[in-house]
């Protein structure tokens, strides 16, 4: 899961993303790119995020944590 998240972020931001990539350390990660990341994540992981979760998804770690919560709630 983490590798897919990193790949999506790297592709959208056109950077060499890693497990530490976040909105704070990537100047390319602006509000428009954030929405592009969210749309791609929703498509790849087949989830639909709530607005309050989208606001929290500002790092690879936080994104992974939230996706895991969504996937667990599907069971």
pLDDT at position 73 is 86
Q: pLDDT tens digit string along 25-73?
A: 999 999 999 999 999 999 999 999 999 999 999 999 999 999 999 999 8
CATH (domain of 49): 1.10.1200.10
> Domain containing 9: what range?
2-74
Q: Quick one: CA dihedral 42, 47, 49, 55, positive or negative? A: negative
pTM over 0.85: yes
Residue 10: is its pLDDT beyond 90? yes
Confidence band for 74, pLDDT divided at 50, 70 and 90: confident
Number of domains in the chain: 1
Average pLDDT over residues 11-38: 97
CA dist list (Å): 16 to 29, 36, 44, 56: 13, 17, 20, 22
State the alpha helices, DSSP H only, in the chain. 2-13, 31-45, 51-56, 60-74
């Amino acid at each position: 899961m983490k590798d897919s998240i990193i790949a999506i972020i790297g592709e959208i931001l056109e950077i060499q993303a890693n497990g530490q990539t976040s909105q704070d350390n990537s100047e390319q990660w602006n509000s428009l790119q954030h929405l592009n990341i969210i749309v791609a994540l929703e498509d790849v992981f087949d989830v639909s995020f709530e607005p309050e979760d989208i606001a929290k998804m500002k790092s690879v770690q936080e994104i992974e944590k939230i996706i895991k919560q969504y996937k667990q709630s599907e069971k």
